[in-house]
Amino acid sequence: MHDELPLVRQALDAGAAGCITKSSSPDVLLDAVRRTLAGDAYIEQPLATQLARHQAADTALDPRLESMTQRESGFFVMLAEGTPARLIAERLCLSGKTVSNNLTLLKSKLQVT
């Protein structure tokens, strides 16, 4: 959903099957879903163009992402995949309250809501 290149790169490096922005049309969203379900990767055209243009340029990650611990990165990936907090708790054998606290701290660290 973000069009900031460092975040797009990190999402793809973390295993995202594709990337589109919030401003994408419903047709683009449906195309992206169909392609990723078929096993293809999908990057919305404007994002793909930006990635290609900046491939050789600065590859540094957003400082907010670089400061994440390994555990926070795991939470971030599951959150980015759309995993509900309840399932994150089950997968990591943690209480729902612990997961909720960790997600609150992570969101604060990343300065997102």
Which pLDDT does position 95 carry in this prediction?
92
Strand partners, 42: 18
Report whether 91 contacts 99 (CB < 8 A): no
The backbone torsions φ and ψ at residue 28, rounded to the nearest 5 degrees and listed phi first, read -65, -45
- What is the tally of structural domains in the chain? 2
**C-alpha of 30 from chain center:** 19
Domain of 78: which CATH number?
A: 1.10.10
Assess whether 50 and 78 both reside in one domain: no
pLDDT (0 to 100) of residue 97: 93
- Res 85: pLDDT: 87
Percent pLDDT > 70 in the chain is 91
pLDDT tens sequence across 91-106: 888 998 998 898 888 8
| 74, 103: one domain | yes
Residues of the chain below pLDDT 70: 1-3, 55-61
CB neighbours of residue 11 within 10 Å: 20
pTM for the model stands at 0.43
Structural domain including 46 reads 5-54
Residue 11 sits in the same domain as residue 50? yes
Residue 42: count of CB within 10 angstroms of its CB? 19
Whether residue 88 lies inside any domain: the answer is yes
What is the rounded distance in angstroms from the CA atom of residue 79 to the CA atom of residue 85?
8
In a domain, 97, yes or no: yes
**Same structural domain, 10 and 39:** yes
